[in-house]
Amino acid sequence: MQKIRHDAVAPTRTQRLASGGKIDAHRHDDHQIVYAGQGTVAVTTDAGSWVAPATRALWIPAGTVHQHQAHGELDLHLVGLPTTDNPLGLGRPAVIAVSPLLRELIVAYTRDPDDDSPRRHRLRTVMLDQLAVSPERPLHLPTPTDPLLRELHGILRAAPADNRSLDDLGRQIGASARTLSRRLRDDLGLTYPQWRTQIRLHHALVLLADDIPVTAVAHRCGWSSASTFIDVFRRTFGHTPGARPTL
């Protein structure tokens, strides 16, 4: 059984991880904001996976067992918050939008964790105000509980470009498309096309973090053309795959 580290206090700090680097499963008694100023961070819990590029941050509620993985060279900014501070009002993990102002506030606040000056306290107050108005973004890839869906999930995660119909995939795992569709609605609240698109977008974020060209990412993730991929990506993330925020 994997040993889960328990940290009473969620740290506030910056941390660099090489591509592929991990922070093993652990939990905090505090809430935590996880933000990648460079690269893409993936956070996994029992409930699923969340992936956040530099225009997004992750909210990890107190007590949530989670682990991190770096995709691309990761510049990680961690903000610990006591349970009395929940600017998002959320008791579950989530991905939130990061405005240019909030990005600068998080980077500045984590630069010198030992600074206890009035200026830094004011910075914290503004950061919490900005977090409170940051909209949640649908970047959660839920982990199915249904055994058939878990098997299908493994097939699609291993080969996101697999364009077989749900009928064909169902035959491989011994279930009808109707059965799988019903279980997807009951278990995840998603249709098959919605679920497959989420899986592909998560994989696309990982490939983009490793500097794979946009056209190659589109084909590796199953889109018929780069333009179709770019359109779906823009509608989901608010910017094109090639865009890079700057500090």
Summarised one tens digit per residue, pLDDT across range 113-160 is 899 999 999 999 999 999 999 988 766 788 888 999 999 999 999 999
pLDDT tens-digit series, residues 53-64: 888 899 999 999
pLDDT tens-digit series, residues 92-102: 898 898 999 99
Residue located via tokens 């823009």: 234
Q: Is the pLDDT of residue 1 over 70?
A: no
Quote the DSSP letter at residue 32: E
Using pLDDT thresholds of 50, 70 and 90, give the confidence band for residue 219. Answer: very high
pLDDT, mean of residues 161-165: 93
Q: Is the pLDDT of residue 247 over 50?
A: no
Share of residues in the chain with pLDDT > 90 (%): 62
Whole-angstrom Cα distance, residue 25 to residue 27?
Answer: 7
Residue located via tokens 């997004």: 56
Burial class (CB in 10 A: 0-12, 13-18, 19+), 98: buried
Tell me if 92 sits within 8 A of 106, measured CB to CB.
Answer: no
Residue 239: Cβ within 10 Å count: 13
DSSP string covering 183-243: HHHHHHS--HHHHHHHHHHHHHHHHHHTT--HHHHHHHTT-SSHHHHHHHHHHHHSS-TT-
Give the C-alpha distances (Å, rounded to integers) separating 150 from 154, 174, 184, 185, 243.
6, 13, 11, 14, 33
- The model carries a pTM of 0.78
Q: Is the pLDDT of residue 245 over 90?
A: no
Tell me, what's the pLDDT at 243?
A: 63
pLDDT tens-digit series, residues 177-201: 999 999 999 998 999 999 999 999 9
User: Is the four-CA dihedral 210, 214, 219, 224 of positive or negative sign?
Assistant: positive
Q: How does the average pLDDT of the chain come out, rounded?
A: 89
Tell me, what's the pLDDT at 211?
A: 83
Quote the DSSP letter at residue 1: -
Tell me, what's the pLDDT at 45?
A: 87
Residue 203: Cβ within 10 Å count: 21
All structural domains of the chain? 5-140 (2.60.120.810), 144-237 (1.10.10.60)
Using pLDDT thresholds of 50, 70 and 90, give the confidence band for residue 244. Answer: low
Q: Is the pLDDT of residue 28 over 80?
A: yes
Q: Is the pLDDT of residue 246 over 80?
A: no
Q: Among candidates 36, 48, 242, which has minimal Cα distance to 139?
A: 48
Burial class (CB in 10 A: 0-12, 13-18, 19+), 226: middle
Q: Is the pLDDT of residue 67 over 60?
A: yes
CA of residue 156 relative to chain centroid, distance: 18
Using pLDDT thresholds of 50, 70 and 90, give the confidence band for residue 16. Answer: very high
Tell me, what's the pLDDT at 2?
A: 57
Q: Among candidates 18, 12, 142, which has minimal Cα distance to 68?
A: 18
Tell me if 73 sits within 8 A of 18, measured CB to CB.
Answer: yes
